[in-house]
Structure 1
Amino acid sequence: MDANKEPNWEKRLENLRQTRRMKAVPTYAPLSRPSETGTDAPVPKLDDESRARVLKAYLKKWQEEHNAAVADCGEEVETDPMIVLQENWLNAQASLQMSVSEKHIESRRRILFDAKKDSAEFETGQIEGGENADAAESGTAADGVAENGEGGAEEALMPVQINILNPKAVNRREVFCLSEQELTERLIKRLRPHLTDTVNGIIRTAVQKQMAVFTYQLQQMLHEQAGAVVEDVLEHDVRKILNDIKYELKYKR
């Protein structure tokens, strides 16, 4: 009788294991937030302008987080920062704005996007597989777009899904994400005082050289005329002195 019950016990145990596996919570984060009814909420698509705003806000926040992590690492930081051109990075994201197989997703992250301030905040505890600067961070890159700043923040957020490829950053090295226009303006601002000093120095040197040439030429001209001037002065003064002497001698007698 015990031998007959043993197979049934093993069968019930196997059925229980299968039931638990079916009801188990998946270990990966879903690509869209489930609604209260148990079905995935529809994820609206962004137009090009809105997507660019979200990506720019994400890039700015990523820069702040990366540089803060570099400053807090306690290791020696490289003095030469890395520049990431915003336009190049945005163009690189175009190939990611499509359906991505989940097997290619190495990590995912959610952010909250404020449309009025064009700013982003990262949510904590939403990273799977660890953050990697070279990994494709796909999934919900922009978890919400703020329509207004009044009332509850969560009610004003619209879920958005964007795939992200972080810039390739070097550890212990600060990163600055700039647009071409901003980079050009910064370079002009930095170079303007140095170029002004250089041009002023060239002008000062040229004036000094011209003054030296003019002084030399004037000196040579005066030197050539000095003999004639001396002769004229002597001849005029000597004759006048002789005339004065003769006049005095004549009338004193």
Structure 2
Amino acid sequence: MTTMLERVPAAAANGMREFGRMCAMALDVLVQIFRRPFQFREFVQQFWFIASVSIMPAIMVSIPFGAVISLQLGGLTSQIGAQQFNGAASVLAVVQQASPIVTTLIIAGAGGSAICADLGARTIREEIDAMEVLGVSPIQRLVVPRVLAAILTSVALNGMVSVVGVVGGYFFNVVVQGGTPGAYLASFNALAQLPDLVISSIKALIFGFLAGVVASYRGLNPKGGPKGVGDVVNQSVVITFLLLFFVNTVLTALYLQLVPAKGT
């Protein structure tokens, strides 16, 4: 027991160091974005790859998400006699919360893991060291295009997931639960506002940046050969999920405090 307790401070210190290095790399990525030459070809290839592996899973996941939210809220609003607000509650829950979260989870699991594995393989083959010896920045050459591709894919898929989720929620509320189409749309128009869509896009942008940075950082720092690459891929997905939910809580709290609800 004593040995385990002694390891806790060391593990915490190591975690803080890793977090600090990852934050330093994130700042470096932000700086390198504005430096030339920009690797446009690499950016387009990475964007197409991440979008191709993420678009179908995102669609398939957004449908049950919208259905579950609509069915759950429909049951609750029926119990308290507030069916007229079901449309607004369902749409706002999908647009503000479910859509950016689902999008980033898919990107981190499909695209982020591939980015981490690719950079990890390059690292253990000493390609990254060779680039640094030749005076080529791995951040500018490899990381920046991947991070920007993750951001663009996240923002684009977020809009698509929002539409699919809202349509799915509408279908299940109107067809399955016998809701009224006019009441569903009227409540949505009465309470929804443009900042709801803006905060959803901002969340998607930030989450995509986090997914790209975490995947790239872990991919550039594997330990133990091929097994280490597999370990960092798993770590990148888990770390992204943890950061995602923490940052989502902070952004949601700030939004609710700073942006007044429609009609107030």
| Alignment TM class, shorter chain as reference | under 0.3
Who wins on radius of gyration, i.e. which is larger? 1
Say which structure is richer in strand: 1
Name whichever structure is richer in helix by fraction: 2
Structure showing greater relative contact order (alpha-carbon pairs closer than 8 Å, 6 or more residues apart): 2
Calculate the TM-score normalised by the size of structure 1. Answer: 0.24
Q: TM-score, structure 2 length as denominator?
A: 0.23
